[in-house]
Amino acid sequence: MDYVVISGGAGFLGSHLTDAWLARGFGVVVIDSLITGNLHNLAHLKGDPRLQIFQQDCAEPLALDLPVRYVLHFASPASPVDYMEHPFETLFAGSYGAHRMLELARVHEARFLLASTSEVYGDPSIHPQPESYYGNVNSVGPRSCYDEAKRYAEALTMAYRRYRGVNTGIVRIFNTYGPRMRLNDGRAIPNFVYQALTGQPITLHGDGEMTRSFCYVKDLVDGILRLVQSDIPDPVNIGNPEEYTIRQLAERILAITGADCPIIYKPLMADDPKVRKPDITRARALLGWEPTISLDDGLTPTIEAFRGALAMYVA
């Protein structure tokens, strides 16, 4: 049996990827410091002999005497709330952690996939954003610990491919949502759902006209699996190109939850992109991938998962 190593495997995306690989007959090694991950996301897999969990930082040494076919580096705080609270851990995940995972892939002659982000495009001057766009990023701003960590990790990944012969790939992930997001995640969908379900005002930053594109986690996992099992070396955007204003998103969540909450406005956060939409031409052409789940169809199970999490929290 071949194994997949997933750093950040107890997190939102990592745990869904763990499920997907186990369902495909692989063993999975999860590496997670649990700074933002949670073993509860893997509790349903307890007792599965194909799953090994190492509670440690991805930058720490790890020797595996297993047949490793894929290494997926997904370890990093990913929401502004998290990476501003943990700036050094975020920077180290993109540098020391990426180096450690790339070395693991090199030793095992495994395919490596870096989880990068749409944030490498910064506050874009090109819309939608193709992979060829170099970005408009503030390297010293409050979001730079995350943006620059991912940009450095991309450069390191390509250096390992060019100079050390590692079979690498890069997925640039756009806003993703679904069950297992934390109640206090800090991103738009978890914030709005939590506020709606608890009867709080829905807080929007700016005038609510900023746009985002939201990809349901099942679609994202499908795209990631296709990419990691290919030999594509260059970055590939994976996200949903349907674009909504933040106010439209808030209104959809209020409609689905049935909540009667006011919408209030707060000042715009520094360096927060005004628009965000992936150009997925490359994913369509090279992977035959595009999202299939609409925002409403994805929000429904996400909201139900939040209801369940809130009920457990209250209990």
For residue 135, list its beta bridge partners. none
Q: Which residues contact 41 (CB under 8 A, 6 or more apart)?
A: 10, 11, 12, 14, 15, 180
How many CA atoms lie less than 13 Å away from 184 in the CB half-sphere?
7
* Separation CA 144–CA 128 (nearest Å): 22
163 is catalytic: no
Task: Return the number of other C-beta atoms located less than 10 Å from residue 281's C-beta.
Answer: 13
Q: Which residues contact 39 (CB under 8 A, 6 or more apart)?
A: 10, 32, 53, 55
Task: Return the number of other C-beta atoms located less than 10 Å from residue 54's C-beta.
Answer: 17
Catalytic residue among 146, 177, 194, 244: 146
- Among candidates 262, 294, 90, 298, which has minimal Cα distance to 181? 298
Please give the positions annotated as active site: 146
